[in-house]
Structure 1
Amino acid sequence: MKKTMSIIFGAMLMLMLAACSQTADPVDKKDESKQGTSAEKEKANKEKESELTLEDVFKKSEEANKDVKSFKAKISMKQAVEAAGEKQDINSDIDMAFVTEPMAMHQKMTMTLDGQKQEINSYLTKDGFYMYEPTQKMWMKLPEELSGQILQMSEGQSNPSGQLDQLKEFVNEFDFKQDDKNYILTLKADGDKFDKFLKDSVKDALPSDMQAEGLMSGMKFNKVDYEVFIDKETFYLNALNMVMEMSTDVEDQKMNMQMDMKSTYSDYNAVKDKDVEVPKEALENAQEIDMNQAGGQ
């Protein structure tokens, strides 16, 4: 299960979009029209509409994100995992602060599993992966090899728009719209062609010893819907929503997972090193987890 969830969360990060030759249509204004929108307001809305094509937006976003040094993210995620006739509901609210070079992250997560709430405070830097265990009131540290693997996975995903090339081959599948503030890119990634692409993307993102061949071959993405909001002025990613349904075989048993994730991004280049610095208490007192005794949990 540990390897399965590593791959799932790797897949969650394969999220950014590509280029097209159509201009963005305005979002549906029906509700606004019902309220008697004035001619002046309609004219003002029209003036805010952009003639940029999706290809233009892609290029400008790619260029803007070359200079991203830090950012914050808020993620709300609902998951339903069904395996061996049992179903678990997992709800998570996550606040993250990133610095991209060298990659460092501070994450505060509140996770509710089958009605039980747990708060997890963690840091990932070149010093390792540190996590505060609230039930035992102590800091814990992952073994260097494992924290190195997590750092390797995270480095390639530390820029929220850093994977703009990922879906170029599916350019004709995009729906491209705009509102007053955002370019809105949506994609319904279902079918065999997307299933292969998503599995290949996950495999490329994971360290080699996490690429369990049997697990990868038994994995199937039944549905992945993306909704991406790119700021019209800065061309930074403002928000990203994803709905995913996937299945895989774990120890000869079928596992199904549904996930609904909503994320927002802010404070570009405003996060300081101190915001992601591992506390002195953790560096001095953390106990390293024995993965053999932990049973790979």
Structure 2
Amino acid sequence: MKKWTTILTAGTLAFVLSACGQTAEPKEDPMTGEKEEVVVKSELTAGEVMEKANAASETQHSLHSDMEIKQKIQMGEDTHDVDSTISMDMILEPLAMHQTVNTQLEGEEVAVEQFITEDGFFMKDPQLGSWMKFEDDMYEQITGQIAGAQESPVDFSMYQEYADDFTFEQTNDEYVLTLKGSGEKFTTLMNDMMKQNMPAGADESLLEESDMKVEKVDMKITLDKKTFFTKDFDMDMIMVLEQQGEQAKITQNIKGTMTKINEIEEIKVPKEILESAVDMSDMMNQQ
């Protein structure tokens, strides 16, 4: 069941919404129930906005993202809380990434820092504090996987039958898409979405061999009204997984913000890391 944590996180982050036919209503204040005043109201439908957002995403070459992931995994009488924060700078071509992941599991905190550039794949040992360089083909594998995903865009027709489940709102500066759902059809949607967005190294047979039921999915995506870039998202999900007689109930919340879009021009591995990193391929050859 532990392998599902990685799959669910990656799949959720790739969850793309598409609603058709309705124009955005002024956003409602959750505290007062009153709708915000929109001076210049857009007449674009949700489907048209998502088409423009999809096109805008193809113009992105870099961004910064901050994510907060809270998970509760219940297996029988055992409950495990896993909380993570991720801060990442990313350039898409050529691929370069610098990210820090902080994870809290049962009172213990683990911080992992990584650089992925043309210089290689470097990771800081969370216990020793020293840097490691992985085999050279790791960079090529990761680059190929991301390129492959970009060549296979999400099929928006997949979401047409869910159009009536969306709320579509707008403010002066933003579009807001909200989805609230549960039941069998959202189980099918989530399963199809995860199949398209399996993370590197994940065991695809887990999806085939497991019984998954979505009890709840609430998601909100905010788009910039001028650029159609995604600004932030917030997703709550409850699902039950059963595999080989084991059952796990997973409650998950993911919040993310995207900033500095197309503002990051370079990500370099610091000189001191290049000079001090232990080459893992050399270590393997010595064993």
Structures share a fold, TM > 0.5? yes
Q: Counterpart of 1:107? A: 99
Q: Work out whether 1:60 is the aligned partner of 2:63.
A: no
Which letter does structure 2 place at the counterpart of 1:268? Answer: I
Q: Work out whether 1:264 is the aligned partner of 2:265.
A: no
More helix by share: 1
Output the CA distance in 2 between the equivalents of 1:7 and 1:152: 19
Q: Counterpart of 1:199? A: 191
Output the CA distance in 2 between the equivalents of 1:263 and 1:214: 25
Indicate which of 203, 216, 219 corresponds to 1:223.
216
SS at match of 1:180: coil
- Quick one: structure 1 residues 222 and 133, their matched pair in 2 at CA, closer, same or farther if it must change by over 3 Å? same
Q: TM-score w.r.t. structure 1 length?
A: 0.79
Identity of aligned residues (%): 30
Q: Counterpart of 1:295? A: none
Q: TM-score w.r.t. structure 2 length?
A: 0.82
Q: Counterpart of 2:242? A: 249
User: Over residues 131-190 of structure 1, what are the superposed CA-to-partner deviations in whole Å (9 max), with x where a residue is unaligned?
Assistant: 2113211223556777766555555678xxx75836344222211011222110011242
User: Over residues 210-265 of structure 1, what are the superposed CA-to-partner deviations in whole Å (9 max), with x where a residue is unaligned?
Assistant: 20156653233332221000111111101111111122235642222111111111
Aligned pairs for 1:47-196 within 5 A: 47-125=39-117, 129-141=121-133, 154-155=146-147, 163=154, 165=156, 167-196=159-188
Q: Counterpart of 1:210? A: 203
Q: RMSD across aligned C-alpha pairs, in angstroms?
A: 3.3
Which letter does structure 2 place at the counterpart of 1:104? Answer: A
Q: Counterpart of 1:6? A: 6
SS at match of 1:50: coil
SS at match of 1:167: helix
SS at match of 2:191: helix
Listed as ranges, the gaps of 5+ residues in structure 1 are 293-297
**Contact 1:17/1:168 (CA < 8 Å) preserved in 2?**
no
Shifted more, 62-71 versus 279-288: the winner is 279-288
Output the CA distance in 2 between the equivalents of 1:56 and 1:87: 43
Shifted more, 198-207 versus 171-180: the winner is 198-207
- Quick one: structure 1 residues 29 and 85, their matched pair in 2 at CA, closer, same or farther if it must change by over 3 Å? closer
Listed as ranges, the gaps of 5+ residues in structure 2 are none
